[in-house]
Structure 1
């Protein structure tokens, strides 16, 4: 470890660091307020989640400060924010070991503690320990193997044990971080580039709508089935249920089932009510409580996602429709709208220019910049070990050279903070897209406690490996002098196996990058499931000729028209009464954009087409759906022929000719040869000769 300086920190750097920490703390509090109901969340839940998010945010500041403190510039004007190395070392110790304890011990136990359905704290704690026992057993087994390898290479000591713990934690976090970051480096720029097309973004929402709607209906059905069990359970007053009457009444209160009129008499009688066992046990009630809490959070998630999708689709359609008038007005803001949605500074014309031209091109330009940044990260990972001087990140951060001495100034600190932020955002954004996390999701103001603990744990787990992986992009003359390397890096490189893993495994970043870039996920899923999967992100971004696009368009149109069935009745009314019931706070659709209505019917296509009749023709900057030249030519020729009017001279032909009696006509009644509406009951139609009558077809 380099010599630790004892000089006091500059006043300006210390003030900047304190202000930056306060701003980071404020940002973390706003994130918690956005995703969690702060008033109903216990304090011993909020504090660990806060530190699990706050400590990784500190790393974005601590790594650049460490770089500038270790490779300080000789020029005072270009010198960045630096602190004494003793202070940096203390900050690294606090940040790393707190993050380690939160990630591997506290957060997993609290996550299972919050997810259990038991009522007593001791029962919850014991359930959490049992649930984490298998995980800890796997970690202990891997540690034993690593311990044998370490002790075979080096002598038995506390330093070797600490090196093993830090190296295993780093390797496991790096494996997950590389996969998630590779996916995010492609998905983030691609989404920004595709959002430049308003009609393409609307088409993407319409393709996504049937899948979101189906999940919402499944979540509503799941809640009703569990409420059916609770209603049936509340009818039992004797036997084994008598010992758990308080618990059953609490479940009944959570489900908002009145005691005088149980919901079992109101729901579908075909639902199997035999799911309630004859003998009620504590384990059954805990499982039922846990399933009901999860089901309510799932319902809140998909109902909110459906409302946001409909709201976004309606807003995009209004932007497209404003092309004719060159004016855009979204109307009054919803009570659930944000601050910027309520503030109206722009005029209707300037709002149209911004939303139709400025914002799409800005997103596309920002997407192009991030695409270039993604390419730089991938390239730097590939050439980091064989050709380190070709690393773009290395050149962009370390651009001060005094002879052979590399220095990092304030500009290098800002650039390094950008790289670290983008790498972390790319990895963390993938966690919300990859659907392998047991249905966990972040919901506005209603995220489940277990999901909040899990996401906070992943943020804390991925931040340290990504920060050190960024550090290895730089020149060895720079990062080997940092406190971070002497604190963590030398333990990772203590064995040849760890050194080779750190040098070559990040090259595996190209695998998730190519998988996300060429749509490998959808193709693999189609191969294994045998179902033709349509993915708006990979296989068919335009959505032409696809069923989900038409179905989604009809779903959104009916939702906006208010012609959907009252499926979600009581969803928003069921508050978070009771101990663990979630708060369902789903923002309503804006009045000017979409009329708030119930959830659409289960099978939307083919029934209740009144909304389709009242929908005006919409403007779109995409070509028509039937883009086949022969189909377009055939439709236009048919419309032209149908628009012809029959000449009067042609209609008068045959007016003076009378039908003979053997044809079933009357001599006094003229035959209108050009009309088919004079068919009567005496069989005057010529189709009657072949056995037809009325409106029937000709029979041969």
Structure 2
């Protein structure tokens, strides 16, 4: 068993180390990489323990030493994931996302941000425990079970829905990718969507840089705030030179930054956010455009050479894989939906349970069958989690994932891995496992949520599965016109745009992919001469207070600059008037080498638009 433990530790470490090296941005601090890698290590280790736990628990005579060792591993991984979920990752994430200029200030902001969550969670937990104790349904010894049950219920509420969506979308995505022509058309439309996102990202980046440049003009060299604005300018100019934002017009709401420390923090936060979004949008756009062009080129070469057999073999192979995944999805949904049901002639409809019983004493067969279903189980869940549009700016991007996104990913994995593993073990219908006898043993003392919730709630996943498969979810939302609710809960590939938008995206994408409309790649005019007022939106000012457009529209740009200069004069500082802008707008259309690759051309374009 010692060798098994070492093997799990080594495999988990290698996977975590590779993930950090592949995804982390160069700007990520070392302590963030260590925290994220450690969190991933325990999550991967927990998943790897499941097949062995099932294989050992399925034997008629369970080895006592192995059961004790597995119980110890479960306790370590479970409670470490619990700590990373609720303590380490949130505090570090708030620390790295803070835009304060000193370590002390960032740590103070992190504590203030999390203390309210901890206080509310503690109050609710204590009230719930006292209510159960005085009602006679819980003893003092069952308090750890309440904590375990609360974490499991919260995770299971989300895991079942994410799993249901993934069980539909994973086979559907594989089937869609099998036909290169259909996938190329789908990807071309998505290129048009990403093109619009890149335009917005470049516009926001230029506005943020223009704000930093103009703020620098307002603050004198002897002012105490000068070091802060210089630091902001240094950070933003590493991505875009200030000469590229000379003609950018700044809207009313963009000027809502006080000339004090809080205002500098808010401005730095906006600049950092603009840089992160720009890098992410650029990566998505470049990767997809290159992929589509290479796919079309490869398809053209195969068609010209008459190698239709290769195309047919590829298509049939992927479709066979999609059908296999669909069968596994149906098996899992059937198992989830019949956990609480008993039929006269079919007491067990769980394919996972049947495989465990058939393999019985076959150690390798049990381990492999459980591992295959478990990996598909996890893949569908996390595929759904980070395709949600609320995570569209926080998903993992190779070499460009910032510290906050890494910590958010690690926190989500740590939060949902334990409920996911517990739900999977429930599908095996084993009465006793090392997990249920160790880390989750106290949970059995909690009425309903500790014993029965994991059996009855997965039925909701079946309804959600069919709702996603037949698009009933989107139909109901659109019928009741819950537009805001729909846009926040939809997934990245959901077609929530109207027909006009879809047609426009397809036209944009075709212009980029085929190279017919080269002006689509010219982002140079984006943000220049545009009035980014944010009409209709609700924003936050320099102190985090809400501001609406109606409150601010009476103050035009000139009045705001005048007020800013008056505030600086009261503080005894001097401001220099900005020089008139007489230079003509430079064209950012890059001169591209016709022999260059698609990736090289796109890199040249992005360098040109920021020059």
Same fold (TM over 0.5): yes
The structure 2 residue matched to 1:27, chosen from 1, 5, 15, is 15
CA-CA distance at 1:243 after TM superposition: 0.7
1:511 aligned residue: 463
Aligned ranges 1:119-518 → 2 under 5 Å: 119-154=101-136, 159-238=141-220, 242-256=223-237, 263=243, 266-268=246-248, 270-272=249-251, 275-276=254-255, 279-326=258-305, 354=310, 356-387=311-342, 388-400=347-359, 409-437=363-391, 439-475=393-429, 479-498=430-449, 499-518=451-470
How high is the TM-score relative to the length of structure 2?
0.78
Matched, 1:87 2:38: no
Q: In structure 2, how many angstroms separate the alpha carbons of the residues matched to 1:19 and 1:294?
A: 40
How high is the TM-score relative to the length of structure 1?
0.69
CA-CA distance at 1:23 after TM superposition: 2.6
CA contact (8 A) 2:211 2:250 kept: no
Q: In structure 2, how many angstroms separate the alpha carbons of the residues matched to 1:290 and 1:171?
A: 35
Larger Rg: 1
Q: In structure 1, how many angstroms separate the alpha carbons of the residues matched to 2:216 and 2:252?
A: 12
Change (3 A) 1:592 1:221: closer
Q: In structure 2, how many angstroms separate the alpha carbons of the residues matched to 1:274 and 1:412?
A: 62
Q: In structure 2, how many angstroms separate the alpha carbons of the residues matched to 1:310 and 1:428?
A: 25
CA-CA distance at 1:553 after TM superposition: 1.1
**Aligned-partner SS, 1:447:** coil
2:55 aligned residue: 68
Q: In structure 1, how many angstroms separate the alpha carbons of the residues matched to 2:60 and 2:157?
A: 35
Change (3 A) 1:519 1:321: same
**Deviations 1:198-230, CA, capped at 9 Å, x for gaps:** 110001012212211111110111111111110
CA-CA distance at 1:568 after TM superposition: 9.8
Q: In structure 2, how many angstroms separate the alpha carbons of the residues matched to 1:542 and 1:318?
A: 29
Change (3 A) 1:520 1:283: farther
CA-CA distance at 1:105 after TM superposition: 0.8
Change (3 A) 1:471 1:414: same
Aligned ranges 1:628-647 → 2 under 5 Å: none
CA-CA distance at 1:296 after TM superposition: 0.9
CA contact (8 A) 1:233 1:276 kept: no
2:533 aligned residue: none
**Deviations 1:227-260, CA, capped at 9 Å, x for gaps:** 1110011113339x811222211111112289xx
CA-CA distance at 1:378 after TM superposition: 0.4
Change (3 A) 1:370 1:190: same
Change (3 A) 1:418 1:594: same
Matched, 1:55 2:42: yes
Higher relative contact order (CA 8 A, sep 6+): 2
Q: In structure 1, how many angstroms separate the alpha carbons of the residues matched to 2:407 and 2:358?
A: 40
Change (3 A) 1:480 1:568: farther
Aligned ranges 1:110-121 → 2 under 5 Å: 110-121=92-103
CA contact (8 A) 1:154 1:160 kept: no
Change (3 A) 1:536 1:61: closer
1:641 aligned residue: none
CA-CA distance at 1:56 after TM superposition: 1.4
CA contact (8 A) 1:232 1:276 kept: no
Change (3 A) 1:491 1:265: closer
Question: RMSD across aligned C-alpha pairs, in angstroms?
Answer: 3.6
Change (3 A) 1:42 1:595: closer
1:618 aligned residue: none
CA contact (8 A) 1:65 1:83 kept: no
Range 377-386 or range 41-50, more displaced: 41-50
Aligned ranges 1:636-675 → 2 under 5 Å: none
Q: In structure 1, how many angstroms separate the alpha carbons of the residues matched to 2:256 and 2:348?
A: 69
Q: In structure 1, how many angstroms separate the alpha carbons of the residues matched to 2:14 and 2:364?
A: 24
**Deviations 1:520-567, CA, capped at 9 Å, x for gaps:** 454355442679999975689999994432332123223896973253
**Aligned-partner SS, 2:59:** coil
**Aligned-partner SS, 1:567:** coil
Change (3 A) 1:301 1:368: same
